[in-house]
């Protein structure tokens, strides 16, 4: 007899069922992108209003990204210990609240603190959303669905670019840029309340009756043939430890599960996102340093974000056709190379903008597949935590990248050498992935690496 999670992963895809969860989860991811991209536009505007030095300007993005690092760990732990649904809703509410307060901040110091707190809320969106969407997705479509999730990222960054570009002439422009995100975020919070809990999570935490209710509803709504299935006996894991102790225990389990897998996940996240966030946070300032005005610099950065939509579409087409590892191995280092060439041709505006577009395309080809890949590598009890800790490791490092980039790397090494070093880190991470982690294409969740059963038995004992 098959298990409930096997039934869920073999259901036909229906836009009114799994597609609804994909859209609602993706919209939360869109706000993550909008908020992160906005850092690059806020940095020069706040620097002008408050008379900030280059190092102080770097703290604008650092405060937000460090908050996201904290949020990724905290909400990934909540999602694995208390449930995906609860974390799924609360993260956006926290983000909206502190974004409103940030728009009203009377000083730069208060603004930094509120941006940190907004980041704590928003940092949970990616690990929680990916865990939930992956666990509702049929295995035949899962790669494409998870890669398509990242299609919401360039939508969010493009909204950030367009709103910033049009609001530049408005008095108090940076305050309006923040406030503009809040109303749709609150509306999405209200909609998210109707999403069911993950049936895989319910089954793995011993909530059999609830799991059967969700699975039976999915079978009925997708029109699949009803069949008997079993829910393996499992003990709830949510009450073992709380607070910081729970997060640290999840970290221990993430590494104990498979150190090679976790080292691949962390190295990919840190290197790929370091390159991407460095470009995203500083591109408007780099273009301004070349003599462009705010509107031209912001529009150039928006091109990078908008072209990323084509990158996501490419990743959707390739992720199941050639596999996760091939897409990551080729597009990751190529994105780093595009930035090096961009730095070398910066004196030629047309060539520089073209290379920005190439980078936007390649980076948004690798990131969706990387997210899908990492979320598949971990079993259900660790999926949100494994993704969350990998995301947090990258946010912690990239959180200080804007500060180091503006005060050390760019002034001392220059742009070409800086981007060469960052691209070299991506290449090293990709080489480690090729030998240390398996391909996940077409395989059942919880049966990817062969190390899942001992962990699941231990958590159920």
Of 390, 385, 372, 339, residue with least CA distance to 445: 372
Give the pLDDT score at 399. Answer: 67
* Residue 240, pLDDT above cutoff 60: no
Answer whether 5's CB lies under 8 Å from 200's CB. yes
Is the Cβ–Cβ distance between 281 and 405 less than 8 Å?
yes
If you write DSSP's letter for every residue of 293-322 in order, what string do you get? -HHHHHHHHHHHHHHHHHHHHHHHHHTTTT
Rounded to the nearest 10 degrees, what angle do helices 125-136 and 84-103 cross at? 150
Whole-number pLDDT of residue 459: 55
- Give the per-residue pLDDT at 238: 42
Q: Which of 322, 289, 283, 285 is nearest to 303 (CA)?
A: 283
pTM metric for this prediction: 0.72
Lowest-confidence region among 62-71, 104-113, 296-305, 336-345: 296-305
CA distance 363 to 312: 9
Range with top average pLDDT, 48-52, 249-253, 339-343 = 339-343
Question: Has residue 301 got a pLDDT over 80?
Answer: no
Q: What are phi and psi of 230, to 5 degrees?
A: -115, 150
CA 339-345-347 angle, 5° bins: 125
Q: What sign does the CA torsion over 234, 239, 243, 246 have?
A: negative
**Residue 418 pLDDT > 90:** no
| Confidence label for 453 from pLDDT (cuts 50, 70 and 90) | low
Supply the pLDDT for residue 209. Answer: 92
Which percentage of the chain shows pLDDT scores above 70? 92
Mean pLDDT (the chain) is: 84
Q: Which of 406, 421, 423, 403 is nearest to 334 (CA)?
A: 423
State the CB neighbour count (10 A cutoff) for residue 258: 24
Of the candidates 143, 145, 162, 155, the residue with the CA atom closest to the CA atom of residue 307 = 155
pLDDT, average across residues 271-277: 89
Would you say 46 and 173 are in contact if contact means Cβ atoms under 8 Å apart? Answer: no
Length in residues, the chain: 461
Categorize the per-residue pLDDT at 237 as very low, low, confident or very high, splitting at 50, 70 and 90: very low
- How far apart are the C-alpha atoms of 360 and 322, rounded to whole Å? 21
Cα–Cα distance between 335 and 357 in angstroms, integer? 10
pLDDT at 287: 82
Confidence at residue 241, expressed as pLDDT on a 0 to 100 scale: 55
CA distance 25 to 333: 29
Q: Which domains does the chain have, with CATH numbers?
A: 4-236+245-460 (1.20.1250.20)
Q: Are 161 and 41 in contact (CB under 8 A)?
A: yes
Tell me what percent of the residues of the chain surpass a pLDDT of 90: 25
Find all residues with CB under 8 Å of 41, minimum gap 6, and list them. 160, 161, 164, 174, 177, 284, 298, 301
DSSP labels for 330-345?
Answer: HHHHHHHHHHHHHHHT
d(CA 450, CA 440): 12
Distance CA 314, CA 311 (A): 5
Residue that wins the pLDDT comparison between 282 and 379: 379
d(CA 299, CA 200): 44
Among 221-225, 407-411, 455-459, the range of highest mean pLDDT: 221-225
Q: How confident is the model at residue 236 (pLDDT cuts 50, 70, 90)?
A: very low
Question: Is residue 239's pLDDT more than 60?
Answer: no
Residue 170, helix vs strand vs coil: coil
**CA–CA separation, 313 and 147 (whole Å):** 8
Task: Examine the pLDDT at 267 and tell me if it is beyond 90.
Answer: yes
User: First-to-last CA distance in the chain?
Assistant: 23
The predicted pLDDT at position 270 comes to: 93
- The secondary structure of residue 437, as a DSSP letter, is S
| Phi, psi angle pair for 437, to nearest 5° | -135, 150
For the segment 37-86, what is each residue's pLDDT rounded down to a tens digit? 788 788 888 888 888 887 787 787 778 878 887 887 788 777 777 778 77
Summarised one tens digit per residue, pLDDT across range 176-198 is 988 887 777 777 777 777 788 88
pLDDT band at 363; cut points 50, 70, 90? very high
| Phi, psi angles (nearest 5°) of residue 194 | -90, 0
209, 105 Cβ separation under 8 angstroms:
no
Helix 349-377 and helix 152-167: axis angle, to 10°?
140
């Amino acid at each position: 007899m098959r298990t409930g999670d096997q039934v869920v992963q073999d259901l036909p895809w229906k836009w009114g069922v799994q597609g609804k969860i994909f859209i609602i989860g993706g919209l939360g991811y869109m706000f993550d992108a909008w908020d992160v991209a906005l850092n690059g536009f806020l940095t020069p505007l706040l620097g002008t209003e408050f008379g900030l030095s280059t190092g102080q300007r770097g703290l604008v993005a650092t405060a937000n990204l460090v908050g996201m690092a904290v949020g990724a760990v905290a909400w990934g732990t909540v999602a694995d210990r208390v449930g995906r649904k609860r974390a799924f809703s609360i993260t956006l509410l926290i983000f909206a609240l502190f974004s409103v307060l940030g728009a009203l901040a009377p000083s730069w110091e208060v603004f930094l603190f509120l941006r940190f707190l907004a980041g704590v809320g928003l940092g949970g969106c990616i690990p929680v959303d990916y865990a939930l969407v992956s666990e509702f997705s049929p295995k035949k479509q899962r790669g494409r669905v998870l890669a398509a999730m990242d299609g919401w990222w360039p939508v969010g960054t493009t909204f950030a670019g367009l709103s910033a570009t049009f609001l530049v002439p408005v008095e108090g422009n940076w305050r309006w840029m923040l406030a503009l995100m809040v109303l749709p975020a609150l509306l999405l919070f209200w909609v998210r309340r109707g999403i069911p809990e993950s049936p895989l999570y319910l089954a793995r935490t011993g909530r059999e009756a609830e799991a059967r209710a969700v699975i039976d509803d999915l079978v009925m709504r997708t029109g699949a043939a009803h069949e008997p299935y079993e829910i393996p006996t499992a003990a709830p894991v949510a009450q073992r430890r709380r607070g910081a102790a729970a997060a640290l225990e999840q970290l221990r389990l993430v590494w104990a599960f498979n150190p090679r897998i976790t080292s691949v996940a962390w190295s990919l996240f840190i290197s790929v996102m370091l390159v991407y966030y460095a470009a995203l946070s500083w591109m408007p300032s780099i273009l301004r340093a070349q003599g462009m005005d705010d509107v031209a610099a912001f529009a150039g950065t928006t091109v990078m974000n908008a072209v990323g939509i084509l990158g996501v579409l490419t990743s959707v087409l390739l992720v199941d056709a050639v596999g996760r590892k091939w897409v990551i191995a080729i597009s990751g280092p190529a994105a780093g190379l595009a930035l090096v060439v961009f730095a070398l041709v910066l004196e030629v505006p047309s060539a520089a903008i073209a290379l920005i577009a190439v980078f936007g395309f390649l980076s948004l080809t690798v990131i969706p597949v990387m997210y899908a890949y990492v979320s598949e590598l971990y079993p259900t009890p660790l999926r949100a935590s494994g993704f969350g800790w990998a995301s947090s490791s990258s946010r912690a490092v990239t959180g200080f990248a804007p500060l180091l980039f503006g005060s050390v790397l760019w002034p001392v090494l220059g742009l070409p050498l800086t981007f060469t070093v960052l691209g070299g880190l991506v290449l090293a991470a990709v080489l480690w992935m090729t030998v240390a982690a398996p391909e996940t294409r077409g395989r059942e969740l919880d049966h990817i690496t062969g190390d899942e059963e001992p962990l699941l038995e231990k958590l159920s004992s």
